Amino acid sequence: MALFEAERLHMRFGHRVVLEDISLAVEEGELAGIMGPNGAGKTTCFNVLTGRYRPTRGRVTFAGEDITGLPPYAIARKGVARSFQLMNLFNDFTARENAAVALPAMRARGFDMARDAAADPALAGAADAVLERVGLGGKGHVVAKNLSYGDRRALEIGVALAAVPRVLFLDEPTSGLGAEATARLAGLVKSLKGSVTMVIIEHDMAFLFGLADRISVIHWGQVIARGAPAELRENPWVRASNLGKLT
Amino acid sequence: MLAAPRTGLVTPAMLFAFALFASLPLWIGAVGLYPYLGVEILIWALYALSFNLLLGYTGLPSFGHGAYFGIGAYAFGLAQLNLAANLWICLAAALAAAAVAGALVAAFISHRRGIYYALMTICFGQVLWFIAIKAHAVTGGEDGLLKIARLPADFGVAAFDLSGNTSLYYFVFAIFALLAMALWRLVHSPFGRILQAIKQNETRATFVGYNVWLYKFSAFTISAALSGLCGGLFAMAQASAYPDVMSLHYSGYVVMMTLVGGGFVSFWGPVVGAATFFLARDVIGALTTSWMLWFGLLFMLVVLFRPEGLAGLWQDLRAGRFRPRAAARAGLLAILKR
């Protein structure tokens, strides 16, 4: 059975149908890619999967449990983490504090009003370990808004990882990054592959084709093709979008 | 706000504030002022600290906070007149009544933020103020509850008479010191840090697994409860409870104190603001009846040009920065625009 499954998701805002009929399955340990043109419904799909919106119809299951319509924080606690297309950090916190807030240990003592959060070595140690993992070791003391754009992207993934997720959703992790920073990020994603199940929305097809085990192509709110990168190269939509030149 | 790697239970700034306030009755007469002013400053400073838990730390603009201060004042008086003339019971009643009212209102508004949150706090504040005016039988209407006694502080082994202004001052100071330390602890606890995370980015906090609604609800309830306790102390100080303190413009005072003092950048900012407010009232007020015009002008200048307030100015001067910092980092306007 797949770790994360969406069955026949349908999402409507008023009269506008954004997701027509989406079914996805993500196996434990794999890196699944989602691609498609602008406005295809990729981000809406993520928002439904992670609880931001409740689907009009359809079902989302995680580890065999129906999580459709649960609030986002409850889904997050079950082990589903995500990053955002537009940068979403705690800007006035340092990198270390950003990671620390997301730790399960912090969540467990969320209503502790007496202990000093800064003096808890367990929190600082675990936060530093996460920063090390995303290549921000040594930058723990830097306030998030003062980090470079690429570092902020990495921290965004770090915050998601700090929650020790079983599945990690990344919404266009390379958006706004130059070639060098994109390569660095690809290295980071590659290093995480296998240790955590990932689902990545991406515009940069070279990035996705190089990393994903399986890719679903979404267009008009439907999955119009899916398969391993090699199989998808033959797909007409993918061909039409000039992917051949990139790979 | 989260600078130090380790947060002490007691800090130099705290010791300085405590030493200043502890010695106040000794010198306040010499500078031409009077001990009762100290009582007012301390009560409102604690009220502003409680308020800033919401505004400065959680980023929630509550513009009807006077309601909870007032409810505490009435509860103190009503408990004394109808329940038991015991200081501890009356203060507990003030705290509890404001907590219940705060929780009730928080249940209706905690899914909001920004300007909508602010508007709803004003609406509820006005409703509660109106009830206080109209419920003659309970609150005494516009006349208020009169003849509230300054009850003795009975510790079992010894009881202290608080009817004099100096003894009342020391009692209020003790409560102020205890609660300021507790609040200092709270804002540096995991709970406090999560509140600050919510202030910066509610969406992110939700998606790392925090029930943001519950945290906002809790912060509002705690803040309202402590404001109610301050209201109880104020009823005792004034020997009465009246609806004025619940009105919109009294609710505005605590916002002004917090912002002028610099609640966004400093834990002690609200205390500075409360002291500034009362000193302006007495010092400028001695020269002109329109002192509020001048204080209001100061408030507008702060909101527009120095959202970090007086505490921020002090921090800048000490660090040798003479130009204002990029103001967008904090500021009331930034919170409202979300």
Q: For position B223, what pLDDT does the model report? A: 98
Global pTM value: 0.93
pLDDT tens for B79-114 read 999 999 999 999 999 999 999 999 999 999 999 999
Nearest by CB: A93 against B2, B203, B212: B2
Element (H, E) at A167: strand A167-171
Element spanning A123, H or E: helix A121-133
- Report the pLDDT value the prediction gives residue B324, as an integer from 0 to 100: 61
B328 pLDDT higher than 50: no
Predicted confidence (pLDDT) at residue A242 exceeds the cutoff of 70: no
Q: CA nearest B329 in A: which residue?
A: A92
Can you tell me the distance from the alpha carbon of B302 to that of B305, in angstroms, rounded to the nearest whole number?
5
Query: Is residue B53 pLDDT above 70, yes or no?
Result: yes
Checking if the pLDDT of A228 tops 70, the result is yes
* Residues A168 and A198: beta-carbon distance below 8 Å: yes
Q: What is the pLDDT of residues B263-286, one digit of tens each?
A: 999 999 999 999 999 999 999 999
Most confident of B151-165, B213-227, B322-336: B213-227
Arithmetic mean of pLDDT, A17-32:
92
Beta carbons of A76 and B208 less than 8 Å apart: yes
Please report the pLDDT score of residue B330 as a whole number: 57
Report the complex ipTM. Answer: 0.92
Which residues of chain B are within 8 Å of residue A111 when distances are taken between CB atoms? 190-191, 218
DSSP conformation letters of B294-320: HHHHHHHHHHHH-TTHHHHHHHHHHHT
Q: Which residue has the higher pLDDT, A147 or B321?
A: A147
Rounded to the nearest integer, the mean pLDDT of chain B is 92
| Alpha carbons B22 and B24: distance in angstroms, whole number | 6
Scanning every residue of chain B, which has its alpha carbon at the shortest distance from the alpha carbon of A87? B204
* CB < 8 Å to A106, chain B: 190, 193-194
Mean pLDDT of chain A: 90
For the segment B140-161, the average pLDDT, to the nearest whole number, is: 92
Quote the pLDDT of residue A230: 86
The string of pLDDT tens digits covering residues A101-112 is 999 999 999 999
Interchain pair A92, B205: CB under 8 A: no
Which residue of B lies nearest to A108 if distances are taken between CA atoms?
B190
Rounded distance between C-alpha atoms, residue B334 and residue B338, angstroms: 7
Beta strand A197-201 pairing with A167-171: parallel
pLDDT band at A122 (very low <50, low <70, confident <90, very high): confident
B289 touches chain A (CB under 8 A): no
